[in-house]
Amino acid sequence: MDAPIIQLENVSYAYPDGPMAVKNLSVSIGKGERVAVLGRNGAGKSTFFLLCNGILEPGEGTLFCGGQPVTRKKKDLLELRRRVGIVFQEAENQILAVTVEGEVSFGPMNLGLPLQEVEKRTGEALSSMGLHDYAQRSPQFLSGGEKKRVTIADILAMEPELILLDEPTSSLDPENVTRLEETLDQLSEAGIALVVSTHDVDFAARFAARGLVFSHGRLIADDSLAHIFSDSALLEQASLRKPWLWQAAEAARPGESAYPLTMDQYRQWLKQSVVSR
Ligand SMILES: Nc1ncnc2c1ncn2[C@@H]1O[C@H](COP(=O)(O)OP(=O)(O)OP(=O)(O)O)[C@@H](O)[C@H]1O
Ligand SMILES: [Mg+2]
Q: Does 43 contact ligand 1 (Cβ within 6 A)? A: yes
Which residues touch 105 (CB under 8 Å, ≥6 apart)?
118, 119, 121, 122, 157
Taking each helix axis from N to C end, the angle separating 263-276 and 244-252, rounded to the nearest 10 degrees, works out to 10
Q: Does 15 contact ligand 1 (Cβ within 6 A)? A: yes
Mean pLDDT, rounded, for 234-255: 95
CA 183 to ligand 2 center in whole angstroms: 22
Residue 277 reports pLDDT greater than 60: no
Query: Which phi and psi angles does 48 have, rounded to 5°?
Result: -60, -45
> Got the DSSP string for 222-251?
EEEHHHHHT-HHHHHHTT----HHHHHHHH
Q: Does 46 contact ligand 1 (Cβ within 6 A)? A: yes
For 81-129, the pLDDT digits (tens) are 999 999 998 887 778 889 999 999 999 998 889 999 999 999 999 998 9
Q: Does 85 contact ligand 1 (Cβ within 6 A)? A: no
* Structural domains of the chain, ranges and CATH numbers in brackets: 6-94+159-242 (3.40.50.300), 244-277 (no CATH)
The protein residue with its alpha carbon nearest to ligand 1, atom 7, reads 15
Q: Does 19 contact ligand 1 (Cβ within 6 A)? A: yes
Beta bridge partners of 214: 219
Dist CA 86 CA 96 (whole Å) = 15
CA 45 to ligand 1 center in whole angstroms: 8
Q: Which residues surround ligand 2, an ion (CB under 5 A)?
A: 45-46, 89
Q: Please report the pLDDT score of residue 275 as a whole number.
A: 60
Q: Please report the pLDDT score of residue 60 as a whole number.
A: 97
| Residues 81 and 54 sit within 8 Å (Cβ to Cβ) | yes
Lowest mean pLDDT among 208-212, 252-256, 269-273: 269-273
CA 164 to ligand 2 center in whole angstroms: 12
Q: Does 215 contact ligand 1 (Cβ within 6 A)? A: no
Residue 155 reports pLDDT greater than 90: yes
Residue 18 reports pLDDT greater than 90: no
Quote the DSSP letter at residue 2.
P
Q: What percent of the chain has pLDDT over 90?
A: 81
Query: Which phi and psi angles does 117 have, rounded to 5°?
Result: -65, -40
